[in-house]
Structure 1
Amino acid sequence: MSERKVLTKYYPPDFDPSVITRTPKHLRATGPKLLTVRLMAPFSLKCTNCGEYIYKGRKFNARKETTEEKYLNIPIYRFYIRCTRCSSEITFKTDPKNMDYTCERGAKRNFEPWREAKENEVNETMDETLDRLEREEGEREEREERDKMMELEEKMQDSKREMAVADAGCEEGIYDGWW
């Protein structure tokens, strides 16, 4: 049996190290560096080729590529996965600005109602947000004031009704013995 953890390599007697040619690092091919990673689908999507739904959380062996783009010095990555039914290529990349992912090709992202609400909020500036919050606060206070007035009016009408019932009872002689 051979040794499991080999510490030394066998060099034959006729080995000549000068025959081995090494290329310097700056002359080596530097193409897109694709790493294979295991990831889950970050959002629910539908393949445009076959119509297969791929749900959020489905695991894939994906190729990860670092793009030339950056957002605030944060690298943007592109992921390549394959459809589970038709094996067509689907690509999506990170979107650090919105803390999300964007689907590039091969699939269409399914509708998510909470994303639509978020997008509406994101389009506001800080001043617009402050104005909106102040306006909503004023409306809420006005509504509470109206509710208090309605409650007071209802109490007044209840007391009027009770007085009318008491007066009607006195006229008919029902309450004669009470006072």
Structure 2
Amino acid sequence: MGERKGQNKYYPPDFDYKKHKTLNAYHGTTALRDRGKKMSQGIIIIRFEMPYNIWCTGCDSHVGMGVRFNAEKKKVGNYYSTPIYEFDMKCMYCDSHYIIRTDPKNFDYEIISGARRQHLRKNISKNEIEEETEERNDDISVDKMSKLNHLQNDYVSSKKSTKDVSVLERYNKKMKDDYGANSLARDILRKQKNEIRDIISKDEGLKYSLGLKHISLPPEKEIDKIKANSIVKTQCFANAYSSTTMFPKNESLIDKLKRKSNDFYDFGSQKKSKESPKIIQFKKKEVKTIKKNDTSTTNSLLVEYSSDSES
């Protein structure tokens, strides 16, 4: 599509290439449109970002660093070969204008009119080092008390720095063998994964046996273990004094009923035996069998029950 851009432009009948040369010149405009209205005066409109905090002199309003304005930019001079630019912008709260110039000598921006700069006081933090000047060093060398204080401060700061250095050295020793540290971390992670996998498999088996596949089990806690152990202990204590412990574990319900019925009959027979115990005696008696036309005797064993109790 790039080759069609020049062909798709409309050139009016009175357009003369030698006279107008471009369509922008024919229409009396530039490629910058509204931004290039004052190109004949050497002014172009840009977006200017405030380099620092300022106070407006017209309405005393505060303008923070980083606020952007539509500013007129023009060249007003040179510092050696570096051009000096001036920016003119209108205040957003009143009708006054800010005029700011570049200062290549001091690597800064200079306020010409319409505003004043907000000076921030810098506090030296703990991590920053105070600049030592020649005057300060001379005072320390002459004044013995200041020298003593300076040495004491150096001693305290050296103690703190030695602690920090020792911590860093220990950390570097630990991380020196990066392969061993990496392998140790991977072994720990592998064990944790296996433990989690075993717990999940146990939970799935328990849910499958109880028919609760759709229920998610919460993680196990120490309180749950204590409660479960107390319940199991109470059940074992109750079973020790119940009649259920007299039956075999694998005995079916039908076998239990049969055995209970047999125990009932045995218990009734024991009561009768206490009242009249029976003694079984074996005696031989002759039994005569009479047949037609013949008489013969046969010996047979008969059993007699006597109710006489032994003395």
Q: TM-score, normalised by structure 2?
A: 0.32
The number of residues matched between the two structures is: 122
1:40 to 38, 49, 52: 49
Q: 1:74 — aligned with what?
A: 82
Per the alignment, do residues 64 and 145 of structure 1 end up closer, same or farther by CA in structure 2, a change over 3 Å counting?
Answer: closer
1:59 to 55, 68, 73: 68
Whether the 8 Å CA contact 1:32–1:66 is kept in 2: the answer is no
- The offset of 1:9, in angstroms, is 3.4
Per the alignment, do residues 10 and 111 of structure 1 end up closer, same or farther by CA in structure 2, a change over 3 Å counting?
Answer: closer
- The offset of 1:78, in angstroms, is 0.7
- The offset of 1:136, in angstroms, is 6.8
Per the alignment, do residues 143 and 87 of structure 1 end up closer, same or farther by CA in structure 2, a change over 3 Å counting?
Answer: same
2:112 to 88, 104, 108: 104
The unaligned stretches of length 5 or more in structure 1 are 23-29, 115-128, 149-179
1:143 to 145, 148, 151: 148
CA deviation string 1:30-89 (max 9, x = no partner): 964112111211111111111111111111111111112x22321111111111111321
SS at match of 1:111: coil
**Cα distance in 2 between the residues matched to 1:50 and 1:42:** 20
SS at match of 1:43: coil
**Cα distance in 2 between the residues matched to 1:108 and 1:137:** 39
Corresponding letter in the other structure for 1:135 = D
Per the alignment, do residues 5 and 145 of structure 1 end up closer, same or farther by CA in structure 2, a change over 3 Å counting?
Answer: closer
2:88 pairs with 1:88: no
CA deviation string 1:141-169 (max 9, x = no partner): 93378649xxxxxxxxxxxxxxxxxxxxx
State, as a whole percentage, how many aligned pairs show the same letter: 26
**Cα distance in 2 between the residues matched to 1:147 and 1:58:** 47
**Cα distance in 2 between the residues matched to 1:21 and 1:6:** 16
**Cα distance in 2 between the residues matched to 1:52 and 1:88:** 11
SS at match of 1:135: helix
Structure number with the higher strand fraction is 1
Corresponding letter in the other structure for 1:52 = S
Corresponding letter in the other structure for 2:61 = E
2:14 pairs with 1:9: no
Corresponding letter in the other structure for 2:115 = A
SS at match of 1:56: coil
**Cα distance in 1 between the residues matched to 2:71 and 2:136:** 44
Corresponding letter in the other structure for 2:85 = Y
Q: Runs of 4+ in structure 1 displaced over 6 angstroms?
A: none
